[in-house]
Amino acid sequence: MGEDRTPSFPQALMRRIRYGGSAERRIGRYIRTGAIGCAIAWGLSLGYLLLSPKTFTSGFVLVMPGTGEGSSLNLPTLGQATSTSSSPFASPDLSPTENYRRLLLSSRALKAAAEAAGETPEAFPTPKVELTDQTKLIGVKITGRSPTQAAMRAEALRIAFQTMLDALRKDEIETRESAHRSQLAAYKAAVAEARTKLTDYEASTGLVSIEQYSSIVASVEHLRDALRDADTKLANMRAGVTELSRQIGVTAEQANIAMTLRSDPIFQALLEQLAKQDTEDAVLNSTHGPTAARVVDLAAERAAVVAKLTARAAALTGNRRFDIQKSRDLSLHDERARLFERLVGQIADTEALAAMRNKLAEQIDTEHNRVMTLAPQASHLDDLKRDVQVAEAVFSSALARTDTSKSDYFASYPMVQTLEAPEVPRGPSAPLPILAVAGGFAATILIIAALVLTWIRTALLQRILKNA
């Protein structure tokens, strides 16, 4: 009984894997497998073309200017305000185009665009935002079921984006203005407080300006100059009085008394009466003798007149021991009397000048004490005026800065312009026939490659087993 050489099932399976059966049968299987695979691949591509809904794409391109701007406002006597806006691309750590890309994709912009397009936010598609490197361009694309819908959605998104930027800028300006107005209120209160302190201090001291204090100091110097001139003139006039007194032989006091008595009509009338009595007495003494009754009565009358002269002179000059005979000698009407008049006039001028000099000295002392008193007050007044000037300068600068900040509309959100506006697309963006054909060809190539690798698997397996 012969030995059974029929291979077992595992052995048959391994032999099938290694050798694949006869070549004729293998070719048939490979052709059928390849045909089925290619049919499926091209069927999927054709189904993509026929069954996929048509999609249309529209978009727009935005561009951002790269230069900043600056403005300066100088108000004489008020202050200066400078507003500078640097280029949005000046910082390497901040990209305004990336910020705008996020704003375009924000739910706020998409919701506003959906409302403008008459759609619900859920039905509005998410746009595709592309940033071109090394440029300031922002490309935005959005899809639609029809060319008109795609263009409408793109325009609605563009307008919503611009509107959102305007709202953000306006909100920023209003927020800044509110903060500035709060600061202005504080600065205005500081100005009012400084002015109140200044006016109260001026009212309490009577000093209204540093110029007033300087004028007081200057007036003291002028008074001192006038005092020095008065001292010089007074010395000269006193020297003249001394020289005239020496020439006349009387003192200045005596000459002054004589001129005082000469100017008094009562004293002069009594003096004339005395002169008549003296004349009559001389005549009677020579004719009747000293014992005559009239001579005795005349002596009594003369004594009464002398008493009256003495009393009148004492009343005028304050001298109780006045010598009537000396006064009569001083009252002679001759050239000597004119010298007396000159002497008395110069004495009067000297006394007037001396009085003026004393008045100047008193005034200098008063003004000097006033200057010493006002010195700390003037210093404090200068500090108060400086506080007012600083407060006013700060307030004016803040006010000017508030106005100039409004002009910098694009400080935080740079200006963006539409380089290409949305247009109605000429054809659908999907499905693309070229994409379907490329997919079919790619699938066909992959199927053929797989079949080729499967065909040569016998040689590969033999080499692997041999090496093992």
Percent of the chain scored above 70 by pLDDT?
Answer: 76
CA 269 to chain centre: 87
Radius of gyration of the chain (CA): 64
CB 197 within 8 A of CB 384: yes
Sort 213 into a burial class: Cβ within 10 Å, 0-12 / 13-18 / 19+: buried
Q: Is the peptide bond before 431 cis (omega within 30 degrees of 0)?
A: yes
Please tell me the distance from the alpha carbon of residue 350 to that of residue 241, in angstroms, as a whole number. Answer: 8
Q: Per the structure block, which two tokens stand in for 201?
A: 């201090």
Strands lying side by side in the sheet with 56-63: 128-131, 137-144, 56-63, 417-420
Task: For residue range 420-448, list pLDDT tens digits in order.
Answer: 999 988 877 666 677 778 888 888 899 88
Q: What is the pLDDT of residue 336?
A: 65
Please tell me the distance from the alpha carbon of residue 118 to that of residue 121, in angstroms, as a whole number. Answer: 10
B/e letters for 55-87, b = 16+ CB within 10 Å, e = fewer, are bbbbbbbbbbeeebeeeebeeeeebebebebee
Instruction: Say whether 142 sits in a helix, a strand or coil.
Output: strand
CB 154 within 8 A of CB 414: no
Q: What is the pLDDT of residue 1?
A: 42
The label of the residue with tokens 């008395």 reads 344
- Which of the residues in the chain have pLDDT under 50? 1-4, 9, 13, 17, 78, 332
Name the helix (H) or strand (E) containing 130: strand 128-131
Instruction: Say whether 421 sits in a helix, a strand or coil.
Output: coil
CB 349 within 8 A of CB 357: no
Name the helix (H) or strand (E) containing 80: strand 79-85
Q: What is the pLDDT of residue 13?
A: 47
Strand partners, 431: none
Please tell me the distance from the alpha carbon of residue 451 to that of residue 455, in angstroms, as a whole number. Answer: 6
Mean pLDDT (the chain, rounded): 78
Q: What is the pLDDT of residue 163?
A: 93
User: Residue 430 carries which DSSP code?
Assistant: B
Please tell me the distance from the alpha carbon of residue 233 to that of residue 215, in angstroms, as a whole number. Answer: 26
Task: For residue range 259-285, list pLDDT tens digits in order.
Answer: 677 777 887 787 788 778 778 777 777
Please tell me the distance from the alpha carbon of residue 42 to that of residue 439, in angstroms, as a whole number. Answer: 8
Residues, the chain, total?
A: 468
CB 64 within 8 A of CB 138: yes
Task: For residue range 340-371, list pLDDT tens digits in order.
Answer: 777 777 877 888 888 888 998 898 888 888 88
CB 59 within 8 A of CB 418: no
- The string of DSSP letters for 11-49 reads HHHHHHHHH-S-HHHHHHHHHHHHHHHHHHHHHHHHHHH
